[in-house]
Amino acid sequence: MSLAAVAAHQPASVPASVIDDLDLAIDRAAVALRREQRGDGHFAFDLEADATIPAEYVMLRHFLGEPDDTIEAKIGAYLRRTQEAHGGWPLLHGGPLNVSASVKAYVALRMVGDAAAAPHMLKARDAILAAGGAAHSNVFTRTALALFGMVPWRAVPVMPIEIMNAPSWFPFHIYRISYWARDTLVPLLVLMALKPRGVNPRGIDIPELFVTPPERVRIWPKGTNQVGGWGIIFGALDKVLQAAEPYFPKGKRQSAIDKAVAFVRARLNGEDGLGAIYPAMANTVMMFRVLGVPDDHPDVVLARAAVDKLLAIKDDEAFCQPALSPVWDTALSAHALIEAGGASTRAAERGLAWLKPLQVLDVKGDWAERRPDVRPGGWAFQYRNDHYPDLDDTAVVVMAMDRARSHSGDAGFNESIARAREWVVGLQSKNGGWAAFDADNTATYLNYIPFADHGALLDPPTADVTARVVSMLAQLGEVPDTSPAMKRGLDYLLAEQHPEGGWYGRWGFNFIYGTWSVLCALNAAGLPGDAAPVRRAVAWLLSIQNADGGWGEDDKGYDLAYKGYSPAPSTASQTAWAAIALMAAGEVDHPAVERGIAYLRASQTEDGFWPEEFFTGTGFPRVFYLRYHGYPKFFPLWALARYRNLKHSNSRTVMVGM
């Protein structure tokens, strides 16, 4: 960071009087959060991505030939509002134009009835053309365009459906890729094999978005990660497959299609959908239509209901969510409410009671391909996703349940906690870390295949998830000297510290998120506050505090050529993470923590919450980001209550895992 940037980020003095009424702020936030609790005890906040998912929902309906004018008018209003001043659509609020998101948003607006000559559409067209045109879209966008005949199928790298027939030792096998890639890809393989064309009832085409007509484009772009030897090898292989695919034996192709359909049907997941994520659900709906499955078939009815369940419909606009996050929202809200104490403790207990029966105890999901002898015992992110529980949610739920039983003395969570611990430890990867959904999902060469231009085909261990598991084990009473799993996880974390002093955050922006996660884990594991890794992390957090007392970080930390922290405006959620991290490191009395708490107190609104338009959640680094609407509702409350509790404590030591 330049000296000027450092000077701009030196914390300014904030009067102590700002935090004098901390109890009032905590009570207001806790009451507001409890007001959001559903009747059955759970919390569920909107999960918003970029323009891509709402646009894809419109494109799905037009592929099927079933436009819905009412909902599409509201999605159109959302897309027009989120168009940036540069004319296009970004990956996150206030960001630069992203060609793929902009192309899909433009197509969707054309489908809902916006004229190509409308001022906002001309502005979007000019911005897209200035960025190279629609030919510079990513693979998933070009695939969506191919389904409407807007680009030829050779614009899409070949992914032969015969992959479904591959033996487990084959270099590309569906269980070698992440769960989200697997569930998205399998129904998509059917579509790519059959190459259908959507109904497109309004006959929309977009030649105006291409610098060179798509039928004349010979070289389609690669992802920034597809370089070096592997990129060259897989690029050459794709050229061979492009020429050979039309001659693949029809019998083997049908066998592979049958296997793909069987895979999907076994994981339909009721009204929560395949993988409980939008791309997999939408591909499933299109797959069934292309295969001629009747609309009244139970599988089709469920698949359609799952997609519509993702809609967030407001008074004047609507958007489609990439997934639903009730387990994550409920577990984190429970932590914040337990920290707030008083009447909020009962609300947390109601949330945990709702979570308890959602534990997956009788389904061995896809994770069992790597760990067949491990008993299930995790929680998923969504309402239901039995084949794909995740380690992060599970660890957070366990820590909340453990806090609740410590408070009440009730043993009702004992069996749930024990089964979850067993499952989590069983999914530790060989390098000592934990990933989100699988163990040892580390076939890195697969990120170089032409189809994987997003660079997110895998689910390797990460510092933030590993930290959550180490925190869980420590809170349950384990110590490195007697817990091999915890010792290996701790060693992994210490080895992953970034030269700047922080830790990479895979699932939240970015080094602040990762550093919060790891400092909580190191404290829980018994690493003293004066240990060198802790001191380096504290020094880094102090160095990046903004002049307003808060903390902020944008997506630049995910750049492949990342050189160091880039200043960004403060947000409530990131300020809460930084403050909680510093308190875990023993710095509750540090002036920087007081300034962070003062920032949160001063930025709280009358409704008890905090405004936060910036995205602070991560789907795929550099490609797909998330705005968790619950983050500014429970994380700041958590930080304020933690600060008050420690200030009233004699030890000044955080005694829980996070």
Q: Which residue in the block uniquely carries the two structure tokens 């929202």?
A: 329
Question: What band does 650 get if pLDDT is binned at 50, 70 and 90?
Answer: confident
Amino acid letter at 646? Answer: L
Residue 410: predicted pLDDT: 83
CB 51 within 8 A of CB 365: no
Token pair, residue 155, equals 């614009």
Q: With bands split at pLDDT 50, 70 and 90, how would you rate the model's confidence at 635?
A: very high
- Give me the pLDDT at residue 237, please: 60
Its pTM stands at 0.94
Give the Cα separation of 220 and 226 in Å (integer). Answer: 13
Q: Interhelix angle for 250-266 vs 278-290, to 10°?
A: 130
Check pLDDT > 60 for residue 7: no
Q: For residues 223 and 115, which has the higher predicted lDDT (pLDDT)?
A: 115
For residues 521 and 464, is the Cβ–Cβ distance under 8 A? no
Per-residue pLDDT at 232: 54
Residue 219 above 90 pLDDT? no
Task: Give pLDDT, residue 13.
Answer: 44
* DSSP secondary structure letter of residue 158: -
CB within 8 Å of 262: residues ≥ 6 apart: none
> Tens digit of pLDDT for each residue in 578-603?
999 999 999 999 999 999 999 999 99
pLDDT of residue 12: 44
Quickly state the pLDDT bin for 445 (edges 50, 70, 90): confident
Name which residue leads in pLDDT, 234 or 517.
517
Q: What mean pLDDT is predicted for residues 144-167?
A: 93
**CB distance 273 to 190 below 8 Å:** no
What's the mean pLDDT when you consider all of the chain? 93
> In the predicted model, what is the mean pLDDT of residues 110-114?
98
What are the structure tokens assigned to 390, written together? 């995740």
CA dihedral 344→350→355→361, nearest 10 degrees, is 130
Kindly state the average pLDDT of the residues 314-343: 98
Asked if residue 144 has pLDDT above 90, the reply is yes
Domains and CATH numbers, the chain: 16-47+323-427+462-648 (1.50.10.20), 50-204+222-320 (1.50.10.20)
What confidence tier does 36 reach under pLDDT thresholds 50, 70, 90? Answer: very high
The pLDDT of residue 170: 86
Question: Is residue 567 scored above 60 in pLDDT?
Answer: yes
Q: Which residues contact residue 253 at a Cβ distance below 8 angstroms, ignoring those fewer than 6 apart?
A: 161, 162, 193
pLDDT computed for residue 250 by the predictor = 75
> In percent, how much of the chain has pLDDT > 90?
85
pLDDT category at 409 given cuts 50, 70, 90 is: confident
Tell which wins on pLDDT, 1 or 551.
551
Q: What residues contact residue 309 under an 8 Å CB cut-off, 6+ apart?
A: 271, 272, 273, 324
H/E element, 312: strand 311-313
Active centre residues (catalytic): 392
Q: Which residue pairs, CB below 8 angstroms and at least 24 apart, start in 608-614?
A: 608/28, 608/29, 608/30, 608/31, 608/32, 608/33, 609/29, 609/32, 609/633, 610/572, 610/636, 611/572, 612/571, 612/572, 612/573, 613/93, 613/94, 614/92, 614/93, 614/94, 614/552, 614/554, 614/569, 614/571
**pLDDT at 8 (0 to 100):** 40
CA of residue 136 relative to chain centroid, distance: 24
Token pair belonging to 63: 């592929």
* Amino acid making up residue 367: W
Q: What pLDDT score was predicted for residue 563?
A: 86
22/97 Cα distance (integer angstroms):
41
Output the six-digit token pair for 47.
Answer: 């999960």
Say which DSSP state 460 is in: -
Span 231-259, mean pLDDT?
72
Phi-psi region of 92 (alpha: psi -120 to 50; beta: other; left: phi over 0): beta
CB 572 within 8 A of CB 600: yes
The alpha carbon dihedral of 309, 385, 63, 305 has a sign of negative
pLDDT surpasses 70 at 640 = yes
Task: Give yes or no for residue 560 having a pLDDT over 80.
Answer: yes
How far apart CA 613 and CA 632 sit, in angstroms, is 10
Q: Is the pLDDT of residue 200 over 50?
A: yes
Is the pLDDT at 564 greater than 60? The verdict is yes
Give the β-pairing of 318-320 and 311-313: antiparallel
**pLDDT of 645 above 80:** yes
pLDDT over 80 at 64, yes or no: yes
